[in-house]
């Protein structure tokens, strides 16, 4: 999709009602404030500095309010194994995330990101190639294979994005990224 092997974008993966339920629940959970953007970690804490998941950072199972969507990802055949880690990212206007490839030894092949609240443009890059992808609320972005391992993904820190039909003024966006942790044996 979009000329990138292993990338799948599914608009309107969840209903408006499910979107509302998830956002409302996210908003009453405690936030971590150690990064410029606020985050919530479930299942395992990801250590951004060390770029690793330590088995001692196991927080427990995913919370019950994430079970329906985590189960749906498996029953729809989008994740081969149930995710055991989820990170919620909040981006206010002007915030983003640096171009990166998700930690290879930490997480399985499939990375799945659910978008909530306002839309944003994500950039995927590989050498000289660059693809801009509009992530709309309720949509799902799946990265596996080349898209996961060969392309970086990131959200530029800016207040507006250029889109086909004009300019998108950024507003608060929230994402929930689901992963399966690989624990070194």
Member of 85, 89, 95, 139 binding ligand AKG (CB under 6 A)? 89
Please answer whether residues 39 and 90 qualify as being in contact, where contact means their C-beta atoms are separated by less than 8 angstroms. Answer: yes
Residue number, 118 or 185, with CB nearest to ligand AKG: 118
Nearer to ligand AKG, 51 or 169 (CB): 51
> Using CB under 6 A, which of 85, 95, 139, 177 touches ligand AKG?
177
Total residues at interface with ligand AKG (CB under 6 A) = 8
Distance (Å) of CA 25 to CA 18, 61, 64: 11, 17, 11
Q: Is 113 in the site for ligand AKG (CB under 6 A)?
A: yes
Report the alpha-carbon distance of residue 144 to residue 155 in Å, rounded.
18
Question: Would you say the C-alpha torsion 152, 153, 156, 157 has a positive or negative sign?
Answer: negative
Binding site for ligand AKG (CB under 6 A): 87, 89, 97, 102, 113, 153, 175, 177
């Amino acid at each position: 999709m979009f000329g990138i092997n292993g990338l799948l974008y599914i608009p309107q993966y969840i209903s408006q009602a499910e979107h509302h339920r998830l956002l409302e629940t996210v908003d009453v959970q405690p936030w971590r404030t150690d990064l410029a953007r606020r985050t919530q970690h479930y299942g395992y804490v990801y250590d951004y500095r060390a770029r690793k998941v330590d088995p001692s950072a196991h927080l427990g199972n995913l919370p019950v309010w994430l079970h329906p969507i985590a189960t749906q990802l498996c029953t729809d055949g989008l994740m081969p194994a149930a995710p055991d880690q989820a990170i919620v990212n909040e981006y206010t206007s002007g915030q983003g995330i640096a171009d990166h490839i998700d930690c290879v030894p930490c997480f399985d092949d499939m990375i799945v990101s659910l978008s909530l609240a306002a839309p944003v443009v994500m950039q995927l890059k590989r050498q000289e190639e660059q693809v801009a992808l509009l992530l709309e609320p309720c949509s799902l972005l799946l990265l596996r294979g080349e898209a996961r391992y060969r392309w970086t993904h990131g959200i530029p820190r800016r207040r507006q994005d250029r889109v086909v039909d004009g300019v998108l003024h950024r507003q608060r966006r929230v994402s929930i990224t689901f992963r399966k942790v690989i624990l070194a044996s």
